[in-house]
Homo-oligomer: A and B are copies of this chain.
Amino acid sequence: MGGRVEGMTGTPRERAREQTITEIIRIGREHLAAEGAAALSLRAVARDLGVVSSAVYRYVKNRDDLLTLLVVDAYNDLGDEVDEAVVSAGADFIGQYKALARAVRGWGICEPSRYALLFGSPVPGYRAPAERTTGPGTRVIRALVDIVEAAYRAGKIVPGEQREQGALQPVLADDLARIRAELDLSAPEPVVVRGVMVWSALFGAVSFEVFGQYGENTFTDPAGLFEQHLEFHVRLLGLE
């Protein structure tokens, strides 16, 4: 969690500053959980920080800036969990994918408000600044792509049926070709596109569960249902 280094770097003042910012983020997380992103208020954070409201402006430019801090913090927290899970899964690609997926689900269930901040409705009036959020925000898909790419190189992805090869829409094929080049992938377009499908299907499954879309008493064992999702994802990816 957190990931912020708290070593003895910098001057005492700098360290105090770092600690205060960490504290602000911690408090912001709590308020997120209690009230949601739209109701996140600098004044409330200041109150919990034990400081007058204007003092927070020493650390945070404005309310949107605080939201950005929380977004980046959440992306990194999720990214850490996912990376760790994948590493712990060993060399088996199916196991790696399942570990990634379970990490996403586990994080989402433990941190529903932060999950909602990242993957739910956009916060009205707030636009995340791409230069600060894109990096952390692409860690999960990056990890997924890495698994698919490694599996492909290891010959562990079954090739699609013949008709699948030619079935890609031309514009989509162009996009995929560009993405392949940018990420320096050797997996061909039909394999990459399966990764995209599974990516959105995975978050669809997690969002349904975290946001309670299945209904109150429809499924008594959400974890079992999720495992079922994973079976389909693995087959869709063609992992073996």
Q: Mark A residues whose CB is within 8 Å of B.
A: 34-39, 116-117, 119-125, 130, 134, 138, 167-169, 171-172, 174-175, 179, 193-194, 196-197, 200-205, 207-208, 211-213, 215-216, 218-221, 224-225, 227-229, 231-232, 236
Contacts and interface: CB of A to CB of B under 8 A. Distances in A.
Contacts of A168: 228
A16 to B, nearest CB: 32
Contacts of A175: 218-221, 225
A37 B36 CA distance: 11
Contacts of A221: 169, 171-172, 175
A203 to B, nearest CB: 5
A193 B220 CA distance: 14
A208 B203 contact: yes
Nearest to A116: B121
B213 A196 contact: no
Nearest to A35: B124
Contact of A121 (B120, B215, B216): B120
A73 B232 CA distance: 34
Contacts of A125: 35-36
Contact of A229 (B39, B174, B197, B219): B197
A37 B121 CA distance: 10
A134 B215 contact: yes
A202 to B, nearest CB: 7
A122 B204 contact: no
A190 B36 CA distance: 38
